[in-house]
Amino acid sequence: MEIAVDSLETPALTKAQLAELLFDRIGLNKRESKDMVDAFFDLITTRLVAGEDVKISGFGNFQIRTKAARPGRNPRTGESIPIEARRVVTFHASLKLKEQIQQSVPHTADTPA
């Protein structure tokens, strides 16, 4: 599946592009396509907010990690500032996704510098 990127400034796949793909390839109407993409991301968000891991077979895992409070430093002023404890989302790609990514990149290790 190849997806055209509309702009070189933001080479990202957007929710609108995902909805357009559902419209083009599956035949859902545009409203249904947008609603399906929104529902998918809402479900992932809801589960992560609840502290649950999200595993998408063949793609990867989203996990919530709790980071402890720690001392920090303002890089501009050098002033010490406390960094509060917080929860962050981490993503770990599946082996299948990693393999696909490696296959699509030309190996330059054999190429002399």
Phi/psi zone of residue 25: left (φ > 0), alpha (ψ -120 to 50 degrees), beta?
A: alpha
- Shared fold status for 14-52 and 53-105: yes
User: Quick one: tokens of 4?
Assistant: 């055209």
Extents of the domains making up the chain: 14-52, 53-105
Residue 11 reports pLDDT greater than 60: yes
Residue 109 reports pLDDT greater than 90: no
Tell me the pLDDT tens digit for each residue of 30-89. Answer: 999 999 999 999 999 999 999 999 999 999 999 999 999 999 999 999 999 999 999 999
| CB atoms closer than 10 angstroms to residue 19 | 20
Who wins on pLDDT, 109 or 75?
75
Q: If we measure between CA atoms, which residue out of 41, 40, 21, 42 comes closest to residue 30? A: 21
| Domain 53-105, CATH among 4.10.520.10, 3.40.50.720, 3.40.640.10, 1.10.10.10 | 4.10.520.10
- Residue 113: pLDDT band (50, 70, 90) is very low
Stretch among 8-12, 15-19, 61-65, 97-101 having the lowest mean pLDDT: 8-12
What is the CATH code for 14-52?
4.10.520.10
